[in-house]
Structure 1
Amino acid sequence: MSWLPDPFRIANFRAFWSARLLATLAQLAMVTAIEYQVYTLARETMSIEAAALRLGLIGFIQFVPLFFLTPFSGWAADTMDRRAIARLAILIEIGSAGALGLATAQGWISLPVIYVVAVFVGISRVLMGPSMGALASNIVPRDLLPSAIALSSIAWKGATIAGPAIAGYLLAVSIETAYFFAVALFILAIIALFLISHIDQQKSDRRNGPIAQVVAGLRYVRENRLVLGAISLDLFAVLLGSAVALLPIFATDIFGGGADLFGHLRAAPAVGAVAAALYFAIRPLKTNVGVKMLVAVGIFGVATIGFAFSRSIALTFFLLVLIGASDMLSVYVRSSLIQLYTPDEMRGRVGAVSTLSISASNELGDAESGLMASLLGPTTAAFLGGLGAIVVVGIWAIIFPELRRAKTFEPPNDANLH
């Protein structure tokens, strides 16, 4: 296996990578089916604006458990076996996808049923984020971590390409087929997790209690301004600039397509993300990482504005690819900085804060986009979101000079790592 990238020569990393690929592929197939089913169910009796609001509500419902439980899932990831927590999360997702598949096949599916299941989907993501995010650092040596993060991102984003596209074709067969496909992949993912053998995890001291340790994690993020700036930049930029939530509207009502077009557009951002992740896995960033992250978020905003006004399917696909590539660069830099600037016994809690910000930007961003689309229309909503992301970059470059000064991923000798 000498031809493989260095992290892939480690058996545990291969199992971890496979688990992340399969779980993300299953989750994206399930979420794509949920988004499409919510919008089509709502459009049976509602206007485009009202259906857009129902679509955005899915994001808000998933965010509620994330908001309340994420800090404690970070504590759990620092004090318990991270593999066991990830397995529990996947079991919840198996139940969620199975329930939606059965409800759809038997004809008793409805918006309230989907909203209830969405709560459990949110809970599974609460558990999955910090545990899987911190697990890679327990599997590979420190010097291989940036490459491992890029490869892990390939699994994540590669599944984000395939999941929606495959779901689009399966939705054309039947919606329940997409849900049962997700169940099968979740089962394979949990098997891969059981293949991960002993890990070298520095567990946090439980004597201080969960509340005190959660507070310590929040305090660490607040005091480490580079970590705080990187996390909050993604939070506000994507919260304002989320365009993915509007794709059902663009695919069906603006472009006049169906489930297959929606699946392809839903996968487009991940095409760019995987291309970027492949590049960084082979040639990791080494200089001016902070400035490059700021530029990437700015490009994300510009591409979102272009997406708002595009009425060409080919141009829209290209802009979504650009959105995904720029977002991947931002994710790669942020994840590497967080992992390398944070001691292992605190990575779960810091990762939980990062997961919460990502979820807030994604789920609340979806809700915000749905609300804005219902009030102003999808074009204006996407335009204002892209503009907002650009404004956030300018503000963060000023109030967090640490981002502009971050030259490499390695922390300086006087960095606060303990």
Structure 2
Amino acid sequence: MLTAQSATVVRATLPAVGAAIEDITGLFYEKLFAAHPELLRDVFNRGNQAAGTQRQALAGSIAAFAGYLVDHPDDRPDVMLNRIAHKHASLGVRADQYPVVRQHLFAAIAEVLGDAVTPEVAQAWDEVYWLMANALIAIEARLYAGQGVAEGDVWREWEVAARTEETAEVASFLLRPADGAPAPAFKAGQYVSVQVELADGARQIRQYSLTGAPSAATRSIAVKRVPGTAGTPDGEVSHHLHTHLREGDRVRVSAPYGDLVLEAGDAPLLLASAGIGCTPMLAMLEDLVAARHEGPVTVVHADRSPATHALRIAHEGLTAKLPDCAAHFWYERQAGAGHRSGLVDLTDVAVAPGTRAYLCGPLPFMRAVREQLLAKGVAPADLHYEVFGPDLWLAAA
């Protein structure tokens, strides 16, 4: 992996690069989009760019990867790389785009750090970049081959078979391939990218978890209308889908990807979600029910109220179909009989030894649940998570 000479240089310069990494990534995106405006228009999430979250996620992944190489020069962080590669594959990222990224990233590094970037420093960080890039390229090639598609050619036309208003904020869409061919296989917990053309001609892309059973002939997604917050716009794609997508309409959908999938085995399972994070958990529950799973399953969900809990009836119904399943639902308000009030508190929730936990929801929720599960003896390697949007978990680590 990382050569001894480069490891020494990276270790010595990592504090300086880490301190400036957000400035570097911010300038990198400016340079990249100035040279290739089509990438901001058609690939990168404009909302995340406006909010700065994509810059934070990139900064976090670079710093985490470099730090890992310094501490483990003969190894690589495969969990992080796999998560990034799945996101890239769902967007149709190609190997020939990595040299373009390298060009503008290193131009930003040189501009921000100035004379500190000696030829020796540039060579060491170039080695870091290509170790990460080539690992991602190799993983993405395997992911494309696994779906039987050419590199980057992940898109198909799908038709909306039905639309259901689940809550005031969430609509679900039942989809079928427009060409009548079989739907591609997926694993419970995975997602697809959805690409829409907006009024200004931009083709924006967002990922949505598949909610139905992997064995079904159709595919279903649930889309929450994302409101803007201070300084950020409303979610462009979610508002477009809510406003325009109706039964009979067509939409471009990618092949399924994602690394938050159930591992084979009889280990006790815990599926924890909050808000729209329940969507991958529903697919997992569908899969467990279809497989007649008999092992212990604990379901944890948090929401503002029963009325805002999207797909609540399905969530409750699937847990009832499993022979050894304990369900715990927390609502901040209007919690009824059998439900809990307030935020998730696992103090009196039994967590069996050897439990594998799967988390999806807002970062504060996942961090709180992770901390509680670690305190209950769940091994860090058995805690798996999915983040909607840029992965800021590493950025804040």
| TM-score, reference length from structure 2 | 0.25
Greater Rg by CA: 2
| TM-score, reference length from structure 1 | 0.25
Bigger relative CO (Cα 8 Å, ≥ 6 apart):
1
